[in-house]
Structure 1
């Protein structure tokens, strides 16, 4: 056991040991109180000059961490030198770590994890505002005294904006909780801490890290090349994890967006992630202000409820809530408008149509090549892409390996040999060589919509609770970008349908004076091969 440190701090009990040193419970002889004191031990294999740099950085960063005053951050009292090494003196928090609780109790409920996440996020917000980046947020550095979470071990924190002192190439931090940019040896930033926060919350709700591999090299390889393993227990916490665990720092949820998602998760009412620089998704309208998505809407799929019941989210027969538009286009407030769906459609109902259209396209995964069209649609006719009876020169440049297709109001290039099946304004294309298990659909879904991004975000929220999309995990969401001369929104996600792992990308945009969506659906294992077909489809789509 070490001797008295700096003639003041007397180590009493070893509390734990990690890659950067050991932590002791100690007695402060001057103030007669218990403290925690960290003995800093550099990584093995460093020469004297490199060790000196580690010590210099530790002194500097401990002083920076001592400026932080927050109930969710373990207070740094002092940094002293003993035997030429720095020792960091900290507040002693008598509590188990989150890592120990996960090990002993297993996965925690999503709502509890969300509440812990709010505490940790607030602590990180304070640190980042002071220019301090933690760099090693992980379950082992989260202490859980009653009714709160506390972040400890700012001993390897780095001051944002300062020059990095160490050039050793050693891994600083725990590989399973490192942000991808840290694994690439890029500078850590507040966004790096937020990724690590997401990984920590993932571990709390799933009982394991987002990259569980046999060894550290497997973890590092997966971190650099793979998506995080799909969460299975996250529930309302899933949008938070999707927002924080993004490979690119600029695409991650920031402090404000993470807080919004965590508060919704803590209340058990998840909200979809809105990428940076985009407005937060608008919540769907209350049920009494929406209509049956199949009632008079192009592409709608009305169903017949049992006698005496009203489908959720519809207006009971004979009921006209204030502000809605009954058949004939006259609102109850006296203002006349066009068709009722042009007024009510912009968000809630539109999202239902988006979800229904994507679900129809997802049937690609589980049908054979001879049944690759949309189910339940009479009057469809299957043909090869170029054999649809079109004549004349198409208004589209056709790359090698593709052939033109002229549909209702559009032309486009599709892969040679793919089958086309049309129904009204909707056309699906599928690959017979893959047994119909990959395809592209283009669908006219509305005449008008005010907020495409909000509607797509609303649809994404519905997918997470739709049993048709087992193992749903959002991969990407973009809104407000330009396509076809107007704004567009795009959602990408993975899911399982009847035991088949699939991946989908859906884009919604204004086209031909209406709102359309294109959908790519394929087996997950052929995603990389199929995406170029979809990108060519989008590039060559032209209005007729």
Structure 2
């Protein structure tokens, strides 16, 4: 609830013992006032329903019942329910200090360590609620109170929470919740679980450390488009928090960072340590992969110690926490259509170095890549599989020991060589294969030849480079041929997804054949330039169209 400053206390006595004082805040359905419990002589807060809100009086009782199920130091305490103006009013503990939203509105932000400690408090509160099968469904700065002196964070306003056995609060024609902190699966009207609250926590941590939600836009349609489709790239100001935020903002709830792993990462950040990257169980990763996707087998490999492991970015498919692109939301179709129409030209020249934007990168639109990008731990220094032991479709690799690869046949009608154990993701138009350590991304796009042909597409992409790739530099666009066909080549360097990962280099070739434009690119950290070029040459040379 937003703080509106003190107002003249009306000193009304309700419930025979609670003397109302000044207003502390007001939300969509209720007003919170400071009050005094005259029977016990203690300060309390009283939440009354706003008459103009149209809220069902039963909602206050619902909230009281929900909170009564969850007893935790970081969850607001409801002391009593009394009648006020014919409606129930909640008597709660008074957390003196204002909300996180108040602090952000005043221009203050939290340091990464402070944000991590806040995250731990809220994660514990949510875990306590989830253990009781209670989903908060409205985790946002206005619903987090920060106690003066102690710094204790308290999660409040369970007014739209879901409780087992209770009906779900809803109002016809009204979106219940706060869009810019709402998980994409809830936007789609799908089943929401504890992972939905964790998405909201990830967005809240971004706001706490930077001052605003990563999905803040000028209109509701733009907000929904950002959550469902756009790249999610946490600010470098978040420092060591970037991996945990990327993991929480994974668009696919099956791949989203869980509470236990999030707690480990946050605890390390709160202690001022650099957290080890999250390591998902390979079996879980394979189980979460889309049934229609070609999942490439994991092969234990030792990560390159010279290259920091990166967590895929949520909206870019390979660069972050991407997940499978959600279907269009029925109730926002018109708004999204407007956004999509405006972005048609931009999509034509969209950056190559990103996985699918809706497939969570984690941007949470990323492809179906898991929240973590480090490979599973190596159990033994085993030699690469022999040709006879390799699964069908694998290409024997003379560089096996250094850059093992295998050939995959994709459902989109092509085959090519990708890093061994790569993870497939898609944003609907593009397909990405990301190496197990998350560092190397192979992308493919097949479409009708647009106006200007291959060279026109590359020149337009180059012009748009500074807008799509921060730190865009050292670009080169050349008209060329590929296997005797008209083609264009584009190379560039940019700042990369995170400061920890460092700059990245992308090599891209597209060519024309029989009315179709084929596009293959590979991106890798600048420190792995040799691997970047070798993998690109393998991908380009091995590419074959197999379907119409």
What TM-score results when the alignment is normalised by the length of structure 2? Answer: 0.54
SS at match of 2:72: coil
2:18 aligned partner: 9
- CA 1:147–1:21: 2 relative to 1, 3 Å: closer
User: For 2:237, what is the secondary structure of its paired residue?
Assistant: coil
Rounded to whole Å, the distance in 2 between the matches of 1:21 and 1:493 is 53
**3-state secondary structure, aligned to 1:199:** helix
Q: Is the 8 A contact 1:66 1:77 kept in 2?
A: no
1:142 Cα deviation (Å)?
1.4
Quote the residue 2:289 is aligned against: none
Distance 1:493 1:241 in 2: 25
The structure 2 residue matched to 1:246, chosen from 226, 239, 250, is 250
1:338-386 Cα shifts (integer Å, max 9, x gaps):
xxx969x9xxxx9999788669x9xx98543449xxxxxxxxxx9623x
Pair 11,112 (structure 1): closer, same or farther in 2 beyond 3 Å: same
Q: 2:130 is paired with a residue of what secondary structure?
A: helix
- Secondary structure of the structure 1 residue equivalent to 2:92: strand
Number of equivalences: 359
Residue of structure 2 aligned with 1:268, choices 268, 273, 279: 273
Determine helix, strand or coil for the equivalent of 1:233.
helix
* Residue of structure 2 equivalent to 1:40: 49
Separation in 1 of the partners of 2:66 and 2:243?
A: 33
Q: In 2 relative to 1, CA 213–55 (structure 1 residues): closer, same or farther, beyond 3 Å?
A: same
Structure-2 change in CA distance of 1:463 and 1:7 (3 Å): closer
Decide whether aligned partners of structure 1 residues 213 and 131 sit closer, same or farther in structure 2, where only a CA change above 3 A counts. same
Residue 29 (1) aligns with residue 35 (2)? no
Q: Which residue of 2 aligns with 1:76?
A: 78
Following TM superposition, by how much is the alpha carbon of 1:494 offset from its aligned partner in structure 2, in angstroms? 9.6
1:436-462 CA distance string (max 9 Å, x none): 259xxxxxxxxxxxxxxxxxxxxxx99
Distance in structure 2 (CA, Å) of the matches to 1:133 and 1:353: 33
Contact 2:99 2:143 in 1 (8 A): yes
SS of 1:10's equivalent in the other structure is: strand
CA deviation string 1:97-121 (max 9, x = no partner): 2222223353322122112101110
Find the counterpart in structure 1 of residue 68 from structure 2. Answer: 66
- What displacement does 1:63 show? 1.4
Residue number among 468, 473, 494 corresponding to 2:503 in the alignment: 468
Question: Is 1:368 aligned with 2:476?
Answer: yes
Deviation at 1:237, TM superposition (A): 0.5
Deviation string 1:500-541 (CA, Å, 9 cap, x unpaired) is xxxxxx99xxxxxxxx967999xxxxxxxxxxx99x948859
- Tell me, in whole angstroms, the C-alpha distance in 2 between the residues paired with 1:355 and 1:136: 32
User: Kindly tell me: are residues 494 and 205 of structure 1, through their superposed partners in 2, closer, same or farther at Cα, counting changes over 3 Å?
Assistant: farther
**Which residue, out of 23, 29, 51, partners 1:20?**
29
- Residue 121 of structure 1 pairs with residue 132 of structure 2: no
Contact 2:67–2:78 at 8 Å: present in 1 too?
Answer: yes
- Secondary structure, counterpart of 1:74 in structure 2: coil
Please list, as runs of the form range in 1=range in 2, the aligned pairs for 1:88-127 lying within 5 A after superposition: 88-127=90-129
Secondary structure of the structure 1 residue equivalent to 2:274: coil
Q: Does 1:237 align with 2:241?
A: yes
Whether the 8 Å contact between 1:463 and 1:469 is mirrored in structure 2 is no
C-alpha displacement of 1:139: 1.1
| Structure 1 position 204, deviation (Å) | 0.9
> Take 2:436 and 2:193, find their aligned partners in 1: how far apart are those partners?
40
Which secondary structure state, in structure 1, belongs to the residue aligned with residue 213 of structure 2?
coil
Which residues of 2 match residues 430-445 of structure 1 at below 5 A? 431-432=487-488, 435-437=489-491
Gapped regions of structure 2 (runs ≥ 5): 1-9, 287-297, 307-379, 383-399, 405-421, 423-433, 445-461, 466-473, 506-520
Larger Rg, first or second structure (1 or 2): 1
Pair 324,253 (structure 1): closer, same or farther in 2 beyond 3 Å: closer
Give, in whole Å, the separation in 1 of the partners of 2:279 and 2:17: 51
* SS class of match (2:241): helix
CA positional deviation for 1:92:
0.8
Aligned CA distance change for structure 1 residues 466 and 74 (closer, same or farther; 3 Å) = same
Does structure 1 retain, via aligned residues, the 8 Å contact 2:440–2:524?
no
TM-score by structure 1 length?
A: 0.55
Q: Distance in 1 between matches of 2:198 and 2:131?
A: 14
Secondary structure in 2 matching 1:95: coil
Q: CA 1:11/1:367 → structure 2, altered by over 3 Å: closer, same or farther? A: same
| Change over 3 Å in CA distance of 1:143–1:187 after alignment to 2 | same
- Work out whether 1:384 is the aligned partner of 2:495: no
| Deviation of 1:80 (Å) | 2.5
Please state whether the residue corresponding to 1:465 is helix, strand or coil. Answer: coil
Encode CA deviations 1:255-291: one digit per residue, 9 max, x unaligned: 1121122223333314434568249x99978979xxx
1:273-288 aligned at under 5 Å gives the runs: 273-274=278-279, 277-278=284-285
After superposition, what is the alpha-carbon deviation per residue over 1:76-103, rounded to whole angstroms, capped at 9, x for unaligned? 1122232232211111111232222223
1:88 touches 1:155 (CA, 8 Å); kept in 2? no
Instruction: Specify the alignment match of 1:169 in structure 2.
Output: 173
Judge conservation of contact 2:440–2:523 (CA < 8 Å) in 1. Answer: no
Matched-pair contact (CA < 8 Å) for 1:213–1:219: yes
Aligned CA distance change for structure 1 residues 167 and 9 (closer, same or farther; 3 Å)? same
Cα offset for 1:130?
1.1
Measured on the aligned residues, the alpha-carbon RMSD in Å equals 4.9
Paired residues for 1:237-386 under 5 Å: 237-266=241-270, 267-274=272-279, 277-278=284-285, 366-370=474-478, 384-385=482-483
Equivalent in the alignment of 1:140: 142
Name the SS of the counterpart of 1:78 in structure 2: strand
Q: What does 1:485-524 correspond to in 2, within 5 Å? A: none
| CA deviation after TM superposition for structure 1 residue 155, in Å | 2.9
Alignment of 1:204-223 (within 5 A): 204-223=208-227
Query: Could you tell me whether the CA contact under 8 Å between 2:11 and 2:21 is conserved in 1?
Result: no
